[in-house]
A and B are shown apart, each in its own frame.
Chain A
Amino acid sequence: MEFLQYFGGVFEPLSFALLLVGTVGGLILGATPGLSPTMAVALLIPFTFHLEPEQGLILLGAAYTSTVAGGAVSAILLKIPGAPANIATTLDGHTMAKQGKGARALQLSFLASGVGGVLGVLLLIFLTPVLAQWALVFGPSHLFWLAILGVTIIGTLDTGSVVKGLLSGCIGLWLSTIGFDDILGAERFVFHSALGGGINIIAALIGLFAIPQVISMLARGRRTDDIEVIAVEKSSIFDAARELFGNLRAMSLGTTVGVIVGLIPGIGGQIAGLVAYDQAKKFSDTPEKFGKGHPEGVIAAESANNAMVGPSLVPLLTLSIPGSPTAAVLLGGLLIHGIFPGTDLFENHPKVAWTFINSMLIGQVLMVVFGLWVAGFAARVAQVPKFVMAAIILGLAVFGAYSVQNSMGDVYVMAALGVAMYFLERYGFSAAPLVLGLILGPIAEANFAQGALIAKATDGIVPYFFTGGLNIILIALVLLSIGFSVVMELRSRRMAQQRSAAA
């Protein structure tokens, strides 16, 4: 119950103000289609430099939580999911809104998000210290394999093509080696003076997540979307709460699916929402109502996508393996403050760790309260034309990248990586494994170098890295993640061929 000692930190005036700003800002950003939670968190990182680590993390954590929930506003009122995690919400949420039950759909969505989110964070609270202690047994070879596992899991699960996913991870790992070698001080792959200090993770994150979005918005050309915002009538929150708890099966299914999906690195909220929706439909007494404005659909989808937020941070905070692209960005936010996840975080920086985790718990409550309050406004913000959003995001990206180290070099790197990523994404590559490679690369290399030194003094590199129970388990997991994804890819290709043959 160590976390209880640090609850006071959340209520310090600046920390609480940041929690409020992050929650309300995240709800509005989340409701804006095209602004993904990952990009929102990446653009916020520069604002955390001048803050204490726990305060910076409170802001980022609040934004992460509420952007996922905020996406439901546009899913319900505009039929445009604010983020991929809200796709399943659109199915019944928008139909409810069209039936004049928009307010009820929003209330159910935020209440279900809050309940799912709180349970997810509770799991984070109780599971993380146990796993962090377990991480103590990890030596350099294990940490090396863990870093590789992080890249392969996201590389194989986050993309349509296993080879391209792993290749993206490799590109990220290579980018992380640019600059000066830490041990010998040798220059590596420095082709321009801007790369002398290596690639700054924050500038890279901003570029990789923001610039492709900007170009995608510009690719729509000179047109505006005629988006109709459905007006909402007033509705009793108490009736909504009664309806929510009257649908306990959908809520518990959604929360359970969200928690499980969150714990598995690389899967993400989109899958959580859709799987929960599907399961809720299967177990429902009235499956025929799904898709026609059934509250159970909204409850299952929204409890799932917020329940996965807390657990997605478990592998991050214990083993440095981010469970989602947004968690990878949060890892970047931790590293800039010189804090490493795992035992270091819980033993040397307990205030940072627990204040952050506790803030996510309080943030869920604030999200429910403010979510209902700002939903109407957020839906209006979601109507801001794409070309205006593009200009604003570009400006924020340039200022954010520059402010990392007051260096134009970071701005060049941000823009170059972002433009390259746009084209790579359009040809089947993915930003998430690339970012993971970039973030985990230094951890992998430091442990590889340390392991190589130990290996030289003992049995040699091959026995050191490839024998021992834990090494073998981790290598098996790496191979399993690749093998599983290859099988899934082959199966989906075969199914696509059968479909096209049948057509």
Chain B
Amino acid sequence: MTKTQNTIVAAAVAAIGAWVCYLSYTQEPAQAFLFPRVISTAFVILAALALAQTALGREQAVEGVTMREASRFLPGLVVLFIYVFWAANTLGFYTATAACCFVMLSLYDPAPHDQVMTWLRRALITAGFVAVMYGLFAEVLKVYTPREIFF
């Protein structure tokens, strides 16, 4: 399983290398792609070498991502993607940050969910964090973040 995973990753990197190499040698103007051609040639050779080493078992396969780990970080990763690619630019930066922080804490806090104090603590951490972020970025650094639907 570990070797298969390693081979799949090496193959994916090799495929990206081949695609970059193809683009470098086919796009115009050629002058603008001179450096990318040199780089992508090295990229594709090294990627092929890495794939061969992995597939032939010449390299110690690293453990990679176990199913157990994946099942643990997947909910958080989904929250991260929703936060970055949708919520921040739709709900507003601070609302999205507060929601993401609260959901993240609720998902990963081992404290029992049926106690009011647990939820209160999570809400307080979220509020404190968003307040600090607002102070730092909006007040000190004067960064104008997307406000959108909420704030």
Q: Which A residues have a C-beta under 8 Å from some C-beta of B? A: 46-47, 49-50, 160-161, 163-164, 166-167, 170-171, 173-174, 177, 181, 183-184, 186, 188-189, 211, 214-215, 218-224, 385-388, 390-392, 394-396, 398-399, 402-403, 406, 408, 411-412, 415, 419, 423-424, 426-429, 441, 444-445, 448-449, 452, 493, 496
Q: Which residues of A contact B97 (CB under 8 A)?
A: 395, 398-399
Contacts of B145 in A (CB 8 A): 399, 402
- Given contacts A170-B43, A173-B39, A388-B105, whether A406 and B144 have CB atoms under 8 Å apart is yes
Residues of B within 8 A of A (CB): 5-6, 9-10, 13, 17, 20, 23, 27-29, 31-36, 38-40, 42-43, 46-47, 49-50, 53, 59-60, 62-65, 69-70, 72-73, 76-77, 80-81, 83-85, 88-89, 93, 97, 100-101, 104-105, 107-110, 125, 129, 133, 136-137, 141-146
Q: A186-B29, A222-B108, A391-B129 are in contact. Are A412 and B84 (CB under 8 A)?
A: yes
Quick one: given A387-B105, A415-B81, are A427 and B5 in contact (CB under 8 Å)?
Answer: yes
Nearest-neighbour CB distance to chain B for A22, whole angstroms, equals 15
Find chain B residues with CB under 8 A from A406 CB.
143-144
With known contacts A170-B39, A186-B32, A427–B64 Cβ distance under 8 A: yes
Task: Using CB atoms, name the residue of chain B closest to A496.
Answer: B60
- A392, A394, A493 interface centre (most CB from chain B within 10 Å): A394
Could you write out 15 A-B pairs with CB less than 8 Å apart?
A47-B141, A170-B43, A188-B32, A188-B33, A218-B108, A219-B72, A222-B108, A387-B108, A399-B97, A402-B88, A402-B145, A415-B84, A423-B65, A424-B13, A428-B59
Q: Are A189 and B20 interface neighbours, CB within 8 A?
A: yes
A179 and B94 CA atoms in complex are apart in Å by 30
Residue of B nearest to A216 (CB): B73
- Of A183, A189, A399, which is in contact with the most chain B CB atoms at under 10 Å from its CB? A399
Residue of A nearest to B19 (CB): A189
B60 touches A493 (CB 8 A): yes
Which residues of A lie under 8 Å from residue B133 when comparing CB positions? 395-396, 399
> A449 contacts B77, CB within 8 Å?
no
CB atoms of B85 and A395 under 8 A apart: no
> Are B73 and A164 in contact, with the CB atoms below 8 A?
no
Given contacts A47-B141, A395-B129, A427-B5, whether A170 and B104 have CB atoms under 8 Å apart is no
Instruction: State whether A221 and B72 are in contact (beta carbons under 8 Å apart), knowing that A399-B145, A448-B35 are contacts in the complex.
Output: yes
> Across the two chains, which residue of chain B brings its CB closest to A170?
B43
In whole angstroms, what is the CA distance A448 to B42 when docked?
A: 15
Lowest 3 A-B CB distances belong to which pairs?
A387-B108, A186-B32, A218-B76
CB < 8 Å: which of B38, B43, B72, B85 contacts A218?
B72
Report the nearest A residue to B96, measured CB to CB. A398
- Verify A163–B49 contact, CB threshold 8 A: yes
Closest chain A residue, CB of each to CB of B14: A167
> Hey, which chain B residues are within 8 Å of A219, CB to CB?
69-70, 72-73
B94 to chain A minimum Cβ distance, whole angstroms, is 10
CB <8 Å contact, A164 and B50 = yes
Q: Given contact pairs A224-B110, A388-B125, A424-B9, enumerate 13 new A-B contacts (beta carbons under 8 Å).
A: A47-B141, A160-B62, A161-B50, A166-B46, A167-B47, A188-B32, A189-B20, A220-B72, A221-B108, A390-B108, A394-B100, A411-B88, A493-B60
CA distance A407 to B88 in the complex (A): 12
Contact status B62-A412, CB under 8 Å:
no
Decide: A46 near B141, CB < 8 A? Known: A412-B85, A415-B85: yes
- Contact A395–B100 (Cβ < 8 Å): yes
Task: Establish whether residues B85 and A387, one from each chain, have CB atoms under 8 Å apart when the complex forms.
Answer: no
User: Within the assembled complex, what's the spacing in Å between the Cα atoms of A419 and B79?
Assistant: 13
Residues of A within 8 A of B20 (CB): 174, 189
Smallest beta-carbon distance B75→chain A, Å: 8
